[in-house]
Amino acid sequence: MNFKFFIRLDDACPRMHSENWKRVLKILNTFDIKPIIAVIPDNQDESLMYDKENEKFWNLVKDWQNQDFIIGLHGYQHNYVNNESGILKINNFSEFSALTLADQVEKISKAFAIFESHEIKPKVWIAPGHSFDLNTLKAIKTVTKINIVSDGFDYRTYFSNDFFWIPAQINTPFKMPFGLWTFCLHPNTMSDNDFRDLEIFLRENIKSSKNFNELFFDNKKQSYLGFIMMISIRLIRKILR
């Protein structure tokens, strides 16, 4: 399997770092890349408040949708309410994990209603902090038509818990020997060097860029390599802590 990659942009919200977002989207447009964009429905996370509120933010999101960018439902308010790590065991903080199904249904319902009020149709679920549990997935199926998760570890798409998963393994674009990789960028905090490195990477590897509509979804379960990747990352994070 040849090396293929996606670009995912996280933490889009009305008070995002507008200049950084313009800068990264200009680079992606140069290479005709349609990213996955994680949009926060009702951001209450003060650490993501970089600029004054953009009153035309939802017009911008709709424009992204019209450009065939893939819009992701990125939680609800991006507020971490506990220290649970959820299914993936990556971070010890969560907006959803360990909450009751009823509480999660309420959050997802409010989040999805905001999208609907602006005529936005998210295609994927993206959990803040990579932390969610089985109740989160049940809540998503209860109140939305989303059946794809942008997260997890593997070298290809896979099927688990009634959802198709597009693995999202690393933050820094880097050429891999094989497999499908999602590079999760955070435009709000990108530096000049980050923008430069992104442009260089895309220039050298643009033939490996993958379009969402080119993905093949089937009922393959997570591979053994995916399990190994997940366990390895958990161990590395535990050692670093």
Instruction: For residues 179 and 63, give the distance between their C-alpha atoms in angstroms, rounded to a whole number.
Output: 31
Mode of pairing for the β-strands spanning 36-39 and 70-73: parallel
| Alpha-carbon distance values, 60 to 16, 28, 41, 64 (Å) | 12, 16, 13, 6
User: Domain total for the chain?
Assistant: 1
Distance between terminal CA atoms of the chain?
34
Instruction: For residues 241 and 144, give the distance between their C-alpha atoms in angstroms, rounded to a whole number.
Output: 36
Residue 49, token pair as written in the block: 């408040």
Please report the DSSP string for 26-92 in residue order.
HHHHHTT---EEEE-TT---GGG--SS--TTHHHHHHHHHHTT-EEEE--SS----B---TTTT--S
Q: Are 127 and 174 in contact (CB under 8 A)?
A: no
Write out the residue range of the structural domain in which residue 218 sits: 3-240
DSSP classification of residue 193 = H
Q: What does the pLDDT read at residue 187?
A: 98
pTM of the full predicted structure?
0.93
Question: Between helices 134-143 and 101-117, what is the axis angle to 10°?
Answer: 40
Q: Which amino acid is at 79?
A: N
Helix or strand (DSSP H, E) at 22: helix 18-30
Q: What does the pLDDT read at residue 239?
A: 61
* pLDDT tens, residue by residue, 39-84: 999 999 999 999 999 999 999 999 999 999 999 999 999 999 999 9
**Is the alpha carbon torsion for 51, 42, 34, 196 positive or negative?**
positive
What does the pLDDT profile of the chain (241 residues) look like in tens digits?
699 999 999 999 999 999 999 999 999 999 999 999 999 999 999 999 999 999 999 999 999 999 999 999 999 999 999 999 899 888 889 999 999 999 999 999 999 999 999 999 999 999 999 999 999 999 999 999 999 999 998 999 999 999 999 999 888 999 999 999 999 999 999 999 999 999 999 999 999 998 888 887 888 898 887 768 777 766 655 564 5
Q: What is the CATH number of the domain that holds 176?
A: 3.20.20.370
Q: What does the pLDDT read at residue 90?
A: 84
Smallest CA-to-CA distance from 76 within 62, 94, 101 is with 94
